Amino acid sequence: MLILGLETSCDDTGAGIVGDAREIRANIVASQLEAHRPYGGVVPEIAARAHLDVIDDVINAALREANIGFGDLAGIAATTGPGLIGGVMVGSMMGKAIAAVRGLPFIAVNHLEAHALTPRLTDDVAFPYLLLLASGGHCQLLLVRGVGDYRLLGRTIDDAIGECFDKCAKMLGLGYPGGPLIEMAARDGNARAFDLPRPMLGRAGCDFSFSGMKTAVRLALEKHVLTPALVGDMAASLQAAIADVVADRAQHAFDLLRNEGVAVTAFVVAGGVAANQVLCAKVKNVAANNGVAFAAPPPKLCTDNGVMVAWAGLERMRLGLTDGLDAASRPRWPLEEIRRV
């Protein structure tokens, strides 16, 4: 059973094909980084138009890579939210059109669920597991109990980690996207050079906050002249501070679940920020300290891609959770509102 997945929720146009034996047959992603780089962030209108320009080519490239045709597919999955609504509609309408013409089932996929289920494709993680979902627009700790069955334990009360990285990278003159550039600059930096705050550290609950960290970076930089060495030190200090906060919040989640008698099989990190090796190393220690396995998808499956959408579609299709061609595209779609068995 082969599923084609389409991802267009932000600035990557992705088409992926996966099979029910957990094999990845194709993974094609067209990036828009150069189109958005001059603006220091994603411009929704530019993103939507770029998706329109390349989605046909991306789908055809995926079919060629998998060495199949539309007639070999068992279903079509597409991200229908949350995300930039113009882009979401491009992928959603394309997916529905293919499904209608070919008489195939259509699966409306929540972008966050696609990230959440990716470790089941890459590492065969069993339910239930603790998930840190961290990306440019999202930062959440979730108990993943099954397909469509998520319990929110904590979320950011202001900025997501990726957003914090982007804005701090801009202050440091590193450009966009911030996360990879911060990580690269931090390699030669001193993580103890700047005493940055650790918002929410030690507080009850599992929520995050990163807006104060951005302010602290700005105030510290106002006292210095930017040099390559200083940029490296600040990048390393920022990365370390964020990793400390995430580890603390994750430990609180483990403590909460343990007190409730809930056992998890693993601690999983997914989303674009999961590609950060310093962050992964920190939370891997949290998993080890709590006696559970740690899993994170490979970097190419941490950022937005069609493979994760195809896999989420396959998982849902196995349970009979297909959708009509009137499935709505949504700019906002919390995981708690996903339809499940």
Residue 144 clears pLDDT 90, i.e. is over it: yes
Measured distance CA(227)–CA(188) in Å, rounded:
13
Residues 6 and 15 sit within 8 Å (Cβ to Cβ): yes
- Residue 137 — very low, low, confident or very high, per pLDDT cuts 50/70/90? confident
User: What mean pLDDT comes out for the span 72-89?
Assistant: 97
Q: Which of 66-80, 92-106, 155-169, 234-248 bottoms out in mean pLDDT, i.e. has the lowest?
A: 155-169
3-state DSSP call for residue 267? strand
CATH of domain 127-296: 3.30.420.40
H or E element at residue 276: none
Model confidence pTM above 0.85: yes
The residues, any chain, with a CB within 8 Å of residue 69's CB and separated by 6 or more, are 63
H or E element at residue 244: helix 228-259
Residue 177 clears pLDDT 90, i.e. is over it: no
More confident residue, 276 or 27: 27
- Residue 184 — very low, low, confident or very high, per pLDDT cuts 50/70/90? very high
Question: What pLDDT was estimated at residue 340?
Answer: 63
User: What mean pLDDT comes out for the span 183-199?
Assistant: 95
Residue 339 clears pLDDT 80, i.e. is over it: no
Residue 262 clears pLDDT 70, i.e. is over it: yes
Residue 249 clears pLDDT 70, i.e. is over it: yes
Measured distance CA(111)–CA(193) in Å, rounded:
37
Structure tokens at 137: 């627009």
User: What mean pLDDT comes out for the span 207-225?
Assistant: 94
3-state DSSP call for residue 156? strand
User: What mean pLDDT comes out for the span 85-113?
Assistant: 97
3-state DSSP call for residue 178? helix
Question: What pLDDT was estimated at residue 133?
Answer: 93
Burial of 278 (0-12, 13-18, 19+ CB in 10 A): middle
Question: What pLDDT was estimated at residue 271?
Answer: 86
pLDDT digits (tens, 9 = 90+) for 281-310: 999 999 999 999 999 999 899 889 999 999
Question: What pLDDT was estimated at residue 123?
Answer: 95
pLDDT digits (tens, 9 = 90+) for 6-43: 999 999 999 999 999 999 999 999 998 888 888 888 89
Q: 279: closest CA among 294, 260, 293, 290? A: 294
CATH of domain 2-116+301-337: 3.30.420.40
The residues, any chain, with a CB within 8 Å of residue 184's CB and separated by 6 or more, are none
Tally of residues, the chain: 341
Domain spans of the chain, in order of start:
2-116+301-337, 127-296
Residue 341 clears pLDDT 70, i.e. is over it: no
Structure tokens at 157: 């009360």
Structure tokens at 202: 């030690």
Q: 120: closest CA among 338, 295, 306? A: 295
Measured distance CA(10)–CA(21) in Å, rounded:
29
User: What rounded mean pLDDT belongs to the chain?
Assistant: 94
Q: 7: closest CA among 59, 53, 43, 57? A: 59
Question: What pLDDT was estimated at residue 70?
Answer: 97
308 CA to centre of own chain: 10
3-state DSSP call for residue 188? coil
The residues, any chain, with a CB within 8 Å of residue 67's CB and separated by 6 or more, are none
- Residue 272 — very low, low, confident or very high, per pLDDT cuts 50/70/90? confident
Same CATH fold assignment for domains 2-116+301-337 and 127-296: yes
Residues 172 and 231 sit within 8 Å (Cβ to Cβ): yes
3-state DSSP call for residue 182? helix
Share of the chain above pLDDT 70, in %: 99
Angle at 135 between CA 131 and CA 136, to 5 degrees: 160
185: left (phi over 0), alpha (psi -120 to 50) or beta: alpha
